[in-house]
Amino acid sequence: MSHSLSPVMQNAALKVMGLDWSFMALPCSADDLASVLKGLEAVGCRGLNVTIPHKQAVSLLCKELSPLAQRLGAVNTLTPLPRGGWHGHNTDVEGFLAPLLQNHPDWSERRAVVVGCGGSARAVVAGLQDVNPSEITIVGRRAETLEPFCSSLQQGRPTNAVRLQPLLNNDPQLQTRIQQADLVVNTTPIGMSSHQPDQGPALPLGEDIWNNLSAHTVLYDLIYTPRPTPWLQRGETLGCRTYDGLEMLVQQGAAALRRWSGIDEIPVDVMRKAALKNLSHS
Ligand code: NAP
């Protein structure tokens, strides 16, 4: 929370838009979440973002949820309702898809692998389900989190929708799935600046599995510190197209501001520049 880039991005955009609002980061414990929401409503707050670890808990405190937030069971953007209470939505999905669709509009008949099955992976998988690839494999290290993750995101999907395929990270099929993938998304924190060598290898799924990566595979890392991550550096040396998580962060913030302000034209460039400037100083 203390290093969140959201205040610098949002405040830079608000200034350019001429809106007399201010975006600030508020630390909040799980026990205080409900009273903080009530307090913000009482003071006329125009909207808020909620981040880990509160995205799921806050969805239960919203009076109304968008269909997407309902499907994910996770909310990152709240907007006040005219008759009181909060509307909850999730802009992480839009943020994740924005850079991907800009450069690769058609994912049908493509194979995707998502590494990790935590909070951000929910938005990633929901986004991929919407672009209809032929295969979505989710790689996790523990069956007890991987299986419920896949079944909850499969629930309520049309019968002809792509089936999520859970795969444990020690499964012998993993190498082939990676080699055949058109897209691999890292949603684990492996490779973040804070990652220590004693926490394991600096690349998700270890070093060796990436040796035979095909140059046609797109690599997308949700991490944006460092830029590029060791995994994306490896991909670049193999000729792969790579994306880090900065654009996802910028685009989810822009989508939230669009909702709060009701203004379609958000100065995304200004937000991106503010985020980059802040990162270069940190
Ligand atoms: P999370 O809910 O804790 O999920 C992390 C996932 O990674 C879990 O499936 C976890 O497995 C797995 N994992 C963690 N350490 C691992 C290891 N050493 N080996 C194998 N698997 C491991 O975290 P999150 O909120 O999804 O965030 C994940 C990353 O995405 C963070 O780096 C975060 O900064 C980034 N992120 C970026 C954006 C953006 O806008 N760019 C947005 C959200 C998150 P277990 O369940 O077994 O622990």
| The two domains 6-90+247-281 and 93-243 share their CATH topology (first three levels equal) | yes
How far apart CA 96 and CA 185 sit, in angstroms, is 10
Q: How far is the CA of 119 from the centre of ligand 1 (A)?
A: 7
Catalytic option among 55, 63, 273, 277: 55
> The domain at 6-90+247-281 falls in which architecture?
3-Layer(aba) Sandwich (3.40)
Domain boundaries, the chain: 6-90+247-281, 93-243
The pLDDT of residue 194 is 73
Q: For residue 149, which atom of ligand 1 is closest to its CA?
A: 9
Mutate to test the pocket of ligand 1, among 187, 227, 251 (most ligand atoms within 8 A of CB): 187
DSSP string, 43-74: TT---EE--TTSHHHHHTT-SEE-HHHHHHT-
Report which DSSP code applies to 212: T
93-243: CATH number: 3.40.50.720
pLDDT tens by residue, 54-105: 999 999 999 999 999 999 999 999 999 999 999 999 999 999 999 999 999 9
Q: Average pLDDT in the 101-126 region?
A: 95
Separation in Å, CA 32 to CA 42, 88, 207: 15, 18, 42
Residue 197 has pLDDT above 80, yes or no: no
CB 87 within 8 A of CB 247: no
How far apart CA 55 and CA 252 sit, in angstroms, is 14
123 lines ligand 1 (CB under 6 A): no
Q: For residue 142, which atom of ligand 1 is closest to its CA?
A: 47
Q: Average pLDDT in the 147-152 region?
A: 96
The pLDDT of residue 199 is 72
The pLDDT of residue 195 is 65
Label residue 165 by pLDDT band (50, 70, 90): very high
CB 217 within 8 A of CB 184: yes
The pLDDT of residue 159 is 85
How far apart CA 81 and CA 259 sit, in angstroms, is 12
3-state secondary structure of 275: helix
pLDDT tens by residue, 17-52: 999 999 999 999 999 999 999 999 999 999 999 998
How far apart CA 146 and CA 141 sit, in angstroms, is 8
Q: How far is the CA of 74 from the centre of ligand 1 (A)?
A: 15
Sign of torsion over alpha carbons 111, 217, 152, 102: negative
The pLDDT of residue 57 is 95
Q: How far is the CA of 269 from the centre of ligand 1 (A)?
A: 27
Residue 169 has pLDDT above 70, yes or no: yes
Q: How far is the CA of 276 from the centre of ligand 1 (A)?
A: 22
pLDDT tens by residue, 1-19: 546 899 999 999 999 999 9
3-state secondary structure of 281: helix
pLDDT tens by residue, 225-237: 999 999 999 999 9
Give the residue, 280 or 123, on which the prediction is more confident: 123
- Name every residue whose Cβ is closer than 8 Å to that of residue 252 and which is 6 or more positions away in sequence: 76, 91, 92, 94, 95, 96
How far apart CA 222 and CA 96 sit, in angstroms, is 8
Separation in Å, CA 142 to CA 212, 234, 243: 25, 26, 27
What average pLDDT does the chain have? 94
